[in-house]
Structure 1
Amino acid sequence: MLLTKFAPQLFSLLAFAACTLAVVLPSRSELDARVYHRATSELVQSGSVFTIHNVKSGTVVDLSAGDNKTITGWALNGGKNQQWETIWSGNSWNFKSVETGLYLGFTGTAGNATNLTVASTPTGWDIWHDTVNETNYRIFAPNTTVNWDLWDYGNAVSGDPITLWGAWSGIHQTWRFVQV
């Protein structure tokens, strides 16, 4: 009885939520129209070693010393577990850990809340300039709209996971490369 009474309102709410999701998660072609250009070799150069800084938090991409597998945001400490060699494969970028020689990637399917991890085989990544500030970068799983996202909207607490998430205007999804 209660469900029947509120069914029209529930249906309207669900329809609104679906429309909102369609706006929040653009298609790849819409995303391509919003970004400046793909990074190939201006700042990010193949064979160079970088620390990769989250624009909002200032933390860096860190390979956890606890398990040598988990990728988190962590305060810069100068460790080799925070240094990444960039390698251009001809159609995408690979990130190789200076500490372990493992490649930054993910397990499973690229989607919202997929954790970054490392593996023995490279994962290709697309690096695009951000639309708001072209000196910042977004790093996407190729041919998707999911990019690196520092958990909890870019919380600066060391240990926050770095995941994949649908691109939106959050600056916690943007990164800067600082050559070591």
Structure 2
Amino acid sequence: MSIYSFDAEKISGEKVSLEQYKGKALVIVNTASKCGFTPQYSDLQKVYEQYKEQGLEILGFPSNQFGEQEPGTNSDVQSFCQLNYGVTFPLFAKTDVRGDDAHPLFRFLTEQAPFGGFNTGEPSGKMLDSFLREKLPAFLEGDSIKWNFTKFLVDREGNVVKRYESTEEPLSMAADIEKLL
């Protein structure tokens, strides 16, 4: 099984097979417009612009599951991303990425790339870890998505290669992306 086994709804409402991305390296990320990590949209767009001609696609999946930080409609999300961050990579419809209603793609991603913990040696990692331990300890259990902007790197054959937690900056993925291109 690979990510090509899944369908998803684009932000425009069109249902697509992820098989259309066969042969491309992918970054799949759950996003939100009102999160402390929202500025990562800017660096995700930079990564996309730097590597898209070499075969990289970034697939953004907005989710309202973390502090209700994606409250708007799909149209609101698309406008926000384009106006504030110049996002041109594909965005998908708002999606549940954890829990009983999690999209099967995200269940697959988290099975293939388990949670490895936050880098608590970094301020943002320490902050998110402490916040979740205090306010939402159940979120730290298992391998599910922990917060917005969890990123998964997928190779050209649809295999999940690596998971990057919310606190890891998109530009830190560059060396791993280049290995796949």
TM-score tier after normalising by the smaller chain length? under 0.3
Q: TM-score, normalised by structure 2?
A: 0.26
Higher strand share: 1
With CA pairs under 8 Å and 6+ residues apart, which has the higher RCO, 1 or 2? 2
Q: Which has the larger radius of gyration?
A: 1
Higher helix share: 2
Q: TM-score, normalised by structure 1?
A: 0.26
